[in-house]
Amino acid sequence: MTKLKAKDIYDLYKEFHVPKNVIDHMVKVADVAEKLCDKFIKKGIKIDKELVVKAALLHDLLRVVDFKELKLKRIKQHVTSEDLEFWTDLMEEHKEINHADLAAKILNKRGHKRIANLVKKHFITEIDNLKTWEEKIVYYADKRVKGKRKVGIKRRMRKSTKEMKKKLIQLEKEIKKVLKD
Ligand SMILES: [Fe+2]
């Protein structure tokens, strides 16, 4: 089990100036993921729920890195000059790394290796590399939440390629099958 506490997660949000809309999204993903964990556990499948929830709460910690531009209208909060400077620098400095890899790198350095792994694996193209249920749950829960609303997989992935949609539907089937049996 990881030592990361709720207060540490809150501190990470502050440290990395996570926009409020991104926090809202992560909170909803964590909620969806937690409910999924409960269903798996009810089926007698061992799941590290605490780990899943923490990873879900951190999966988009560095989301800003992949923003093409800062859409301040979407960030419904009071934006300080420090926020703006932090976000702009982040976007400038990390053009070569995606938000999942960067967050995983930081969490790894700080000793949260298992959380880091789940965070890394939530990135869209990691779908072929998902092995554990914990990885699959965090990945899938994220793909069921658009902004802070739970939606169907097809709605959330409207802009994805046909191939990606196919893989996602397959993952959904795999999860539903286990929960139904
Ligand atoms: Fe997400």
| Cα(35) to centroid(ligand 1), Å | 16
Higher-scoring residue by pLDDT: 181, 114: 114
pLDDT for residue 2: 52
pLDDT band at 82 (very low <50, low <70, confident <90, very high): very high
Radius of gyration of the CA atoms of the chain, in A: 16
Residue ranges per domain, the chain? 6-180
| Cα(3) to centroid(ligand 1), Å | 23
For the domain covering 6-180, report its CATH number. 1.10.3210
Angstrom CA distances, 49 to 1, 54, 98, stand at 10, 9, 26
Higher-scoring residue by pLDDT: 70, 174: 174
Q: Where are the alpha helices (DSSP H) in the chain?
A: 6-15, 20-42, 49-58, 81-93, 99-109, 113-121, 133-142, 153-156, 162-180
Average pLDDT over residues 101-125: 97
pLDDT for residue 1: 43
| Cα(18) to centroid(ligand 1), Å | 13
| Cα(72) to centroid(ligand 1), Å | 18
pLDDT for residue 85: 92
Low-confidence winner among 38-52, 147-161, 162-176 (lowest mean pLDDT): 147-161
Rounded Cα distance, 181 and 41, in Å: 13
Average pLDDT over residues 105-126: 97
All residues at 6 or more sequence positions from 70 whose CB lies less than 8 Å from its CB, including other chains: 64, 84, 87, 88, 91
Surrounding ion ligand 1 within 5 Å at CB are 60, 142
Higher-scoring residue by pLDDT: 70, 80: 80
pLDDT for residue 76: 76
Give the pTM: 0.94
Average pLDDT over residues 145-162: 89
